Amino acid sequence: MHRLTNRQILLGITGGIAAYKSAEITRLLKKAGADVRVVMTPAATEFITPLTLQALSGHPVHLELLDPEAEAGMGHIELAKWADHILIAPASADFIARVAAGMGNDLLTTLCLATEAPISLAPAMNQAMWRDAHTQANVEALKSAGYTIWGPDAGEQACGDTGPGRMLEPTDLAARLAAEFEYLALSGKTVFITAGPTREPLDPVRFISNHSSGKMGYALAQAAMDAGAKVKLISGPVNLTPPSRVTCIQVETAEEMLAASLEQIEECDLFIGAAAVADYRPVAIAEHKIKKGNEEIMELRLVKNPDIIATVAKHSHRPFTVGFAAETRDLLHYARDKLVRKQLDMVIANDVSVAGIGFNSNENQVTLVTPEDATSLPQTSKRMLAKQLIEQIALHLNKQDSL
Ligand code: PMT
């Protein structure tokens, strides 16, 4: 089921007594980490309310082909493009006939025509309707067109008949759907990543900060997401768009970054501290703009900020914890010191004195330091490096999990 993390599943519900089971399908898919959007035919709403599906999926249910409100948000073509997989459960005889005929006379049939995503149908109907030659011909036509047909099961039916036509159970459908996706290095893992600088305000117009652009942290978030993880990106102020399918929490100060990092930390399997957190903040924030005086030298009083990654590494629900070490000299010495002092599992040593890598650049070169060894990775784009780092981190994390 871990394969469903981050997957965008469009669940189509058509009219039939089995429609009540769609609530359980939605719950199972959500629990497995999928993002679920529900589309119902008018007949389906006679069997289960859109409100139930909205509450379970966390999104408004799509009902009409020509709904100006929906078209302004996610219209039918966007919805067709959005889906990684379309599951139609239950699929009635009428729906199967319409889609086999290539009709687009409601939202769900239109989506089937417009999508490039794989489509699976879970038929549910009376045994005689299932055995009917028209239905069988329609099912064969859909199979030839590339649709997958899951079920139906045979057994006692709601109408009192016995025979084939029962929709497969929600657990079976969810498992079949999960099997459609590849198992990736971080499938089923929850990853928190801090990125960018923090800003420590001095007065309403000034702050202390640093040159971090967030590029490294955002690239790591994308790579972790691509590796199948559910990602929470805790970002200081940067000019970057968060990767899609990643939950991004925007913060300003180190204290806000700490609070966002600790929120739901018990769900976190892997924490990566790529942020350049200000070590100190002003003792007090002036209520009004600090005015220029006559003195040539102005002194600022600063107080130490909390160490976010060290706090995470000491937490009772400690995730696998990876820090960065941005250094301008004695790189490996300071990286090892941070590994031990902050009780980290791994440190990514980053020489920020070299031009073209480190802060604000598009490329980086790092050394991966573990308690056992140090591996230098060649200079490359932050995007490529993030992919390599996530592969290495996943190897260590999965090794630890298997112990
Ligand atoms: O953002 P970019 O422009 O792409 O640049 C990337 C980067 C250089 C910022 C990044 O690769 C990097 O090195 N990040 C860590 C920067 C840093 O603050 O390093 P540090 O050696 O001061 O901190 C060591 C570790 O402790 C880091 O994981 C840091 O996130 C963490 N830390 C530091 C202080 C603090 N109060 N809380 C922390 O969690």
Q: Does the beta carbon of 76 sit less than 6 angstroms from any atom of ligand 1?
A: no
Give CA–CA dist 195/340, Å, rounded: 22
Give residue-wise pLDDT tens across range 50-104. 999 999 999 999 998 877 776 666 778 899 999 999 999 999 999 999 999 999 9
Strands (E), 81-229: 85-91, 119-123, 148-149, 153-156, 162-166, 190-195, 200-203, 206-208
pLDDT of res. 352: 87
Give residue-wise pLDDT tens across range 327-367. 999 999 999 999 999 999 999 999 988 889 889 999 999 99
pLDDT of res. 354: 87
Q: What are phi and psi of 99, to 5 degrees?
A: -70, -35
Q: What is the largest CA-CA distance in the chain?
A: 95
Q: Is the dihedral of CA 178, 40, 59, 49 positive or negative?
A: negative
Q: Which domains does the chain have, with CATH numbers?
A: 2-179 (3.40.50.1950), 190-286+296-402 (3.40.50.10300)
Give CA–CA dist 327/195, Å, rounded: 17
User: pTM score, two decimals?
Assistant: 0.90
Q: Does the beta carbon of 352 sit less than 6 angstroms from any atom of ligand 1?
A: yes
Residues of the chain falling short of pLDDT 50 = none
Q: From atom 16 of ligand 1, which residue's Cα is the shortest distance away?
A: 276
Q: From atom 35 of ligand 1, which residue's Cα is the shortest distance away?
A: 307
Q: Is 174 exposed, middle or buried (0-12, 13-18, 19+ CB in 10 A)?
A: buried
What is each CA distance from 393 to 251, 266, 341, 369, 386, in whole angstroms? Answer: 26, 19, 20, 11, 10
Among 324, 362, 366, 382, the mutation site with the greatest number of ligand 1 atoms within 8 A of its Cβ is 324
What are 336-344's contacts with CB under 8 Å, separation 24+?
Answer: 336/369, 339/369, 339/370, 339/371, 341/310, 342/307, 342/309, 342/310, 342/313, 343/310, 343/313, 343/314, 344/309, 344/313
Q: Does the beta carbon of 214 sit less than 6 angstroms from any atom of ligand 1?
A: yes
